[in-house]
Chains A and B, each alone.
Chain A
Amino acid sequence: MSDIVPPEVKPKPAIPANTGPLVPPTSAIPVPVGSHSTAQSASGGSTLLGYIGIDTIIEQMRKKTMKAGFDFNIMVVGHSGLGKSTLLNTLFKSQVSRRNAGWPRDEKIPKTVEIKSVSHVIEEGGVKMKLTVVDTPGFGDQINNDNCWEPISKYINEQFEKFLKEEVNITRKKRIPDTRVHCCIYFIPPTGHSLRQLDIEFMKRLSHSVNIIPVIAKADTMTIEERQEFKQRVRKELETSGVEFYPQKEFDDDMEDKSDNDKIRETMPFAVVGSDKEYQVNGKRVLGRKTAWGIVEVENSNHCEFAKLRDFLIRSHLQDLKEVTHNIHYETYRAKRLNENGGLHPISSNGTQESNL
């Protein structure tokens, strides 16, 4: 993580609005050139005495990240026909799925699980995000699905390995390209009964290397009561099988986090419906699915929990997902790896890796 870099910040209008001459802070903290404070106003009121301006670091970070942009890697897993691509398109309100990136609609189901990833850059409010979507066609589609999770597990570990190698280099890049999978959305088919054997196996094996967010796909199959029952049963089964899905209980920092996350955990797995078509409902244009007996509104929380998933994933926990991946999953992998063959040798940079932004 390279963050000790002097920010190039131009003098910014100070918060209680005053003139520009840069006044060095009173304390002895070595503050890089360019930081400013609004310690003394012309009137010299005692209330402003001691204002240092550390809180402006948030602003600095914001600017920095805006310039640098985000990386976010999301993986979708589930057998074909569960609406994975549609949900991704709905989540990011753009055509991000594999199909739209030029890969044709799969006529044939692949014989083994393949890993296909597509990258897009999405911009909103000055914030650039490089979103990489990793799709896994062929998962769970065969007659014999033994070990279909292995290609996925291998891919995740490969990304960790790549990052590790970069980190261990003698001359490191300023910004290591992050291709590690930050979040894996697992699509549960809406049978209405319980989890299938395959679901439990997959989640058990991968909950320790990646953040798994289970969702119930095609939730418009079930009525509200059926949905509640199904959710409860799924949660119970996940508990008894020892699957820790994101947000994991053990990583809650403090009480506030815990209560927030508890609330979320109570409503997981989210029952979602995806759509990229718009219809007119009560004068408004909404995303939805039009059936002969009504229109299923995707963003209506009485109809499905898509809005909750979106808020959870993007609006509140995006950064946390990345952090958990980096601090916990990656560190676990790194520790395991370094303990194995007596450690890695630092590799001299050979310039084969390009930073892709």
Chain B
Amino acid sequence: MSVNQASAISTVGEGHMTAMELGGLRGLANLPNQVYRKSVKRGFEFTLMVVGESGLGKSTLINSLFLTDLYSKDYPGPSQRIKKTVQVEQSKVLIKEGGVQLTLTIVDTPGFGDAVDNSNCWQPVINYIDSKCEDFLNAESRVNRRSMPDNRVHCCLYFIAPSGHGLKPLDIEFMKRLHDKVNVIPLIAKADTLTPEECQLFKKQIMKEIQEHKIKIYEFPDTEDDEDNKLIRKIKEKMPLAVVGSNVVIEVNGKKVRGRQYPWGVAEVENGEHCDFTVLRNMLIRTHMQNLKDVTNNVHYENYRSKKLAAVTCNGVDNSKVKGQLTKSPLAQMEEERREHVMKMKKMEAEMEQVFEMKVKEKKQKLKDSEAELERRHEQMKRNLEAQYKELEEKRRVFEEEKINWEAQQKILEQQKLDASKSKNLVCVLFF
């Protein structure tokens, strides 16, 4: 975006063309700046995956690329620990430079290609990439999409051992399986093993094999700028890039350079004639980082998404039918899908109604039953109560009778007593 000074061509007067400056008539020229400022505030994310056998210098290269010590002596990288199975490990680092901050995630795959039997050692890698795409898909489909962290793998650096002959079966298998899921950039590791002629031959051989097996490695897109195109063409000729990594500073001819010290000389990391490290760094960080993200988003992610969603809607349909559907136009297919969907909905609705009715009937029946039951009990209880009442009445009657009897008896007794006392009184009186 070197166009800061927009030239808004306007016809003034008699078809005069005047170039307007920034902040001119409409101020559209300032738009790139606004985008830039917003993105800078937001910060950038980038996920880089490194794959290769152990001992190919992956950790050293990452340290050299980003001038950090992601894997230092205190925290030895995965390569220092021997792994029995392939693991996928990720480490995040926040890099700030000139006000721009980048959240860099490095995904490492220790144990890749190290066992005696390496069949399917690419499976954990594929699973990891798919799971990140799935996370993004779910986040995209949610209702609340405020924060959508982009953890998809944007670029996969594949390290080829510098044998000088060609690709190994493992290399070919891996790249074939991953070239339509992620941007694959093959690199020749430890390139200081090869002399310049050997390196050329090796690169040619690798590119030949890549074409033979129809492996789609990351292609640098052509830009409108001619200058850039020339550069890009130069880069394309150098593929795959032969890299050397080092963070050790050595003095050569009074200059301090990063390199590797041998008894016969110093292999400089940033010297374009010694290796392609600077090309890789410029390409990866300075010019094509955004493009890598775009390709991941537009091509690899969309591939994954359409495969995933197609699998869901065509669920239960015969395979041959699916093939037939794919030949129709997308609109017709969508119509059909919609119709199918609607029919399915209707069916489901009808079924649900049925089920609902049945349930209601059942419930009513149950309620009736329990009502009847209650009534019965109620009757029974009433009867019981009445019986008891009658009994009690009986008892009371009996009791009353007894009471009357007793009272009568009491009266008689009293009468007798009175009579007795009366007669006693008479006797007394008689005596006086």
A and B bound?
A: yes
Interface residues, chain A, with chain B CB atoms under 8 Å away: 80-83, 106, 109, 141-146, 189-194, 196-198, 201, 218, 220-221, 223-224, 289-297, 300, 302-303
Q: Which of A82, A223, A290, A296 is packed against the most chain B CB atoms within 10 Å?
A: A223
Do A141 and B168 have beta carbons less than 8 Å apart?
yes
Bound-state CA distance A118–B165 (Å) is: 21
Are B118 and A221 touching (Cβ within 8 A)? no
**B262 and A143 form a contact (CB under 8 A):** no
Give the chain A neighbours of B117 by CB distance below 8 A.
Answer: 143-146
| A109-B169, A223-B262, A292-B196 as given contacts; A191 in contact with B55, CB under 8 Å | yes
When distances are taken between beta carbons in the complex, the residues of chain B under 8 Å from A218 are: 162, 193
Q: Is the CB of B119 within 8 A of A143?
A: yes
Please classify the interface of chain A as helix (H, G, I), strand (E, B), loop, or mixed, using the class held by over half of its residues: loop
Q: Is the CB of B55 within 8 A of A297?
A: no
Asked if B190 and A144 make an inter-chain contact with CB atoms under 8 angstroms apart, the answer reads: no
Dominant SS among interface residues on chain B: loop
Q: Does B98 contact A (CB under 8 A)?
A: no
Interface size class of B (residues with CB under 8 A): 35 or more
Closest Cβ of chain B to A276, distance in Å, is: 13
The answer to whether A223 and B161 have CB atoms under 8 Å apart is no
Q: Is the CB of A194 within 8 A of B82?
A: yes
Return the chain B residue nearest A301 by Cβ: B263
Contact: B266 with A290, CB < 8 Å? no
User: Counting CB contacts under 8 A, is B176 at the interface?
Assistant: no
Is B306 among interface residues, defined by CB-CB distance under 8 A? no
**Cβ contacts under 8 Å, A291 to chain B:** 192, 195-196, 264-265, 267
In the complex, the chain B residue whose C-beta lies closest to that of A146 is: B117
- Contacts A221-B192, A303-B262 aside, 5 further interface pairs with beta carbons under 8 A come to A141-B169, A142-B169, A143-B173, A144-B119, A294-B266
4 closest pairs, A vs B, by CB? A81-B163, A191-B55, A294-B265, A294-B264
Name B residues whose Cβ lies closer than 8 Å to a Cβ of A.
53-57, 79-80, 82, 114-119, 121, 161-165, 168-170, 173, 190, 192-193, 195-196, 260-268, 271, 273-274
Within the assembled complex, what's the spacing in Å between the Cα atoms of A220 and B261? Answer: 11
Interchain CA distance A194-B80 in the complex, whole Å: 9
- Please name the residue on chain A nearest to B174 by beta carbon: A143
Q: How far is the CB of A111 from chain B (nearest CB, A)?
A: 9
A297 adjacent to B264 (CB under 8 Å): yes
Q: Output the nearest chain B residue to A145 by Cβ-Cβ distance.
A: B116
Q: How far is the CA of A293 from the CA of B196 in the complex (A)?
A: 11
Nearest chain B residue, comparing its CB with the CB of A81: B163
Given A201-B116, A303-B264: A81 touches B161 (CB 8 Å cut-off): yes
A186 to B261 CA separation, bound complex (whole angstroms): 27
* Known interface pairs A223-B260, A302-B263, A303-B263; A197-B116 also in contact (CB < 8 Å): yes
Q: Which residues of A contact B164 (CB under 8 A)?
A: 81, 83
- Contact of A289 with B163 in the complex, beta carbons under 8 Å: no
Which one of A106, A191, A290 has the greatest number of beta carbons of chain B within 10 Å?
A191
Contact status of A224 and B165, CB under 8 A, knowing A143-B170, A145-B117: no
CA distance A247 to B53 in the complex (A): 31
Which residues from A are CB-within-8-Å of B79?
193
How far apart sit A218 and B55, CA to CA, in the bound complex (Å)? 14
Q: How far is the CB of A161 from chain B (nearest CB, A)?
A: 28
Q: A143-B170, A144-B118 are in contact. Are A221 and B264 (CB under 8 A)?
A: no
Q: A197-B116, A201-B116, A220-B193 known; A191 and B168 CB under 8 Å?
A: no
The CA of A271 and the CA of B267, in the complex, are separated in Å by 19
